[in-house]
């Protein structure tokens, strides 16, 4: 699974870069006149003049640039060329984002799960009262629920899938989309957004309740980990 996780991280970075580039291009396009797509020359008497020309609905509109002399329309020409290049790049990035999003979402399903060979257990407490004990063996996740009160329990059934387990643990984690999530993970030595690895560091504590998670070998009590208030 480590190879899949690394690939997920790599592809997620590409996806984030595409999104960032698209946002930058859209911001740059806003600075250009909408609809401007050509420069025409109009003769008035014996003189020739450059005009900007664009379509506004069914009407074709134009605006004087200046007398048809060298370099008079150069800035507008560059604007048209640049805007067309940006529009082409925007269309390309839009397609890349659509394709890459599907790849990242598919990889994420497996990247967030522990290795299929990895067996592990942990316990869930409400304050210092045992709420549930979770045992993961291969594809099976067995949950022994000692409290059925939904306020003190995070599991809804005695048997769930690994994906359901990861989604449940994710609810005990920081939001994946928060702007500083990569820095937060790096500071704690976590290579990717993996709910299991995150709760190993945070014990899944929240300001909203008294639930926390203990892994084997941890000599801890609620007083050591809860952040809402001391028990």
Distance separating alpha carbons of residues 190 and 185, to the nearest angstrom: 5
Domain that includes residue 155, residue range: 120-225
pLDDT at residue 75, as a whole number = 87
Task: Output the pLDDT for position 78.
Answer: 87
Quick one: pLDDT at residue 128? 96
Please give the pLDDT value at position 197. 92
The reported pLDDT for the residue numbered 1 is: 63
Same domain, 208 and 129: yes
The predicted pLDDT at position 52 comes to 86
Single out the residue in 87, 111, 135 at which a domain terminates.
Answer: 111
pLDDT at position 140 is 87
List of the chain residues with pLDDT < 70: 1, 33-36, 112-117, 228-231
Residue 230, pLDDT score:
52
pLDDT value of position 29: 86
Residue 230 falls within a domain, yes or no?
A: no
> Mind listing the pLDDT tens digit for each residue in 55-90?
778 888 888 999 999 988 898 888 888 888 999 999
Task: Give the span between the Cα atoms of 215 and 114, in whole angstroms.
Answer: 15
Calculate the CA dihedral of residues 125, 128, 130, 131 and round it to 10 degrees. Answer: -40
Q: Are residues 69 and 144 in the same domain?
A: no
Report how far residue 135's alpha carbon sits from residue 137's, in angstroms, rounded to the nearest whole number.
Answer: 7
Instruction: Round to whole Å and give the CA distance between 1 and 3.
Output: 5
Q: Give the integer Cα–Cα distance in Å for 134 and 123.
A: 6
**Structural domain count of the chain:** 2
């Amino acid at each position: 699974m480590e190879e899949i996780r690394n690939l997920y991280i790599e592809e997620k970075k590409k996806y984030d870069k595409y999104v960032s580039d698209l946002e930058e291009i859209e911001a740059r396009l806003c600075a250009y006149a909408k609809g401007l797509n050509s420069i025409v020359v109009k003769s008035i008497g014996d003189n020739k003049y450059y005009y900007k020309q664009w379509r506004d609905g069914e009407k074709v509109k134009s605006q004087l640039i200046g007398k048809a002399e060298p370099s008079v329309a150069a800035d507008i020409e560059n604007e048209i060329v640049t805007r067309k290049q940006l529009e082409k790049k925007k269309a390309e990035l839009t397609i890349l984002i659509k394709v890459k999003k599907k790849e990242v979402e598919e990889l994420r399903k497996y990247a967030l799960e522990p290795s299929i060979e990895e067996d592990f257990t942990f316990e869930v407490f409400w304050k210092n009262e045992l709420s549930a004990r979770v045992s993961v063996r291969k594809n099976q996740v067995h949950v022994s629920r000692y409290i059925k009160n939904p306020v003190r329990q995070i599991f809804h059934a005695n048997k769930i899938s690994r994906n359901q387990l990861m989604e449940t643990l994710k609810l005990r984690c920081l939001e994946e989309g928060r702007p500083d999530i990569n820095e937060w993970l790096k500071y704690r030595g976590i290579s990717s957004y993996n709910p299991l690895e995150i709760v190993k560091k945070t014990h899944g504590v929240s300001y909203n309740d008294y639930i926390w998670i203990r892994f084997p070998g941890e000599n801890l009590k609620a007083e050591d980990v809860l952040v809402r208030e001391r028990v």
